[in-house]
Amino acid sequence: MTSEILHDPIASRLGYLLRRASSAMMADLGRALGEIALRPVEGTILILIGANPDCTQSDLGRMLGIGRTNMVPLISALSKRGYLDKSPVDGRSFALTLTKSGEEARRQVDKIMDAHEERFARLIVGQDVAGLRTALALIAAQPEDVPPS
Amino acid sequence: MTSEILHDPIASRLGYLLRRASSAMMADLGRALGEIALRPVEGTILILIGANPDCTQSDLGRMLGIGRTNMVPLISALSKRGYLDKSPVDGRSFALTLTKSGEEARRQVDKIMDAHEERFARLIVGQDVAGLRTALALIAAQPEDVPPS
DNA sequence: TTCTTATTGTTATGAGTCATAACAATGTTG
DNA sequence: CAACATTGTTATGACTCATAACAATAAGAA
């Protein structure tokens, strides 16, 4: 069978192309951020806290489409690593800020993400990148991007 | 903090847009295929076997970017459900074909996927869909789409 | 102000995806 | 034949995402 030509009626589906493209970019980002021992999600969280000091982990979850529940181990890990400061604002929530080393890590993440985006931007030169962004944003804005709770 | 405006320096990243768009489409397809109790991966496998009768599960894995290892429970589940026939061709591999009910399921999957794609195609009318496909294919063709083994 | 409801963080848990290591049986090739 | 590659398999671990349940707290309505 390996010698025969396999045809792939799925390759023309938009959803499948999206999934594979997303997976390829995520894999690349994962590899790149691996150099500073961070996962894409963790890098993203550092960026977001840098841009929104004193936000809560629920705020982050809403921005990222990640449920409260699943934010716990993420924030906990970054905190244990000395990247985050938590200061109580409420009786229940904490204002998150970057520590000195957290800010340093954030800078590295930013640089790595820039290079990563550049790598892929080069792949699609000549394409309508603005149109691509618009289309992706339209698709992403579909329901169910809302986290469970 | 909830009252303040949160800004999202990540939302402009292509990789992030891709991930969210892909996630939105996958969620929609998952919901749609849920009506016949199949996951997107399983539906895709039925389509591929329908288009490539007598392929092996390793062939499918290569097409889908899924490792040999992770094909085992997928094929096993579809087989137990009576959707697949396995006939030995080698001393080691099996030629996969759809049973009567597997073919019926495949037809339903095809119909559901068509409707699903249509739903999203309507979202991006006026956009350069051909260009979108081209760009996604370029990104997806990046290394690391190759399964581990 | 009290009663009700909503929010926040948390633990525990399970499904689904993906990767690796190890293995036996079998094919293929030098 | 001997070395190597492929196929299917089991077992296992990381990561993502979802749900249920809970305690503490806050906010809004009666």
Nucleotides of D under 7 A from a protein CB: 6-12, 15-21, 23-26
What's the Å distance between residue B54 CA and nucleotide C11 C1'? 48
Residues of chain B contacting residue A113, judged by C-beta atoms under 8 Å apart: 13, 15
Q: Domain residues of chain B, as ranges? A: 22-140
Per-residue pLDDT at A96: 98
The CATH class of the B22-140 domain is mainly alpha
Residue B87 near residue B95, CB atoms below 8 Å? yes
The DSSP string of B51-96 is HSTTB-HHHHHHHHT--HHHHHHHHHHHHHTT-EEEEESSSS-EEE
Half-sphere exposure of B137 (CA within 13 A, CB side): 12
Per-residue pLDDT at A146: 55
Which of A15, A17, A56 has its CB closest to that of B140? A17
Q: What is the pLDDT of residues B48-57, one digit of tens each?
A: 999 999 999 9
Q: What is the C-alpha separation between B48 and B50, in angstroms, rounded?
A: 5
Q: What is the pLDDT of residues A70-127, one digit of tens each?
A: 999 999 999 999 999 999 998 999 999 999 999 999 999 999 999 999 999 999 998 8
Which of A25, A132, A144 has its CB closest to that of B15? A25
- pLDDT classification of B145: cutoffs 50, 70, 90: low
Judge: B6–A56 Cβ closer than 8 Å, yes or no. no
Q: Is the CB of B94 under 7 A from strand D?
A: yes
- pLDDT classification of A3: cutoffs 50, 70, 90: very low
What b/e readout covers A137-148, taking b as 16+ CB neighbours within 10 angstroms?
Answer: ebbbebeeeebe
- Tell me, rounded to whole angstroms, the distance of Cα A114 from its chain centroid: 13
Q: Does B148 touch chain A (CB under 8 A)?
A: no
Q: What is the pLDDT of residues A77-93, one digit of tens each?
A: 999 999 999 999 989 99
CA of B92 vs chain A CAs: smallest distance (Å): 13
Q: Is the CB of A61 under 7 A from strand D?
A: no
Q: Does A76 touch chain B (CB under 8 A)?
A: no
- What does R_g of chain B's alpha carbons equal in angstroms? 19
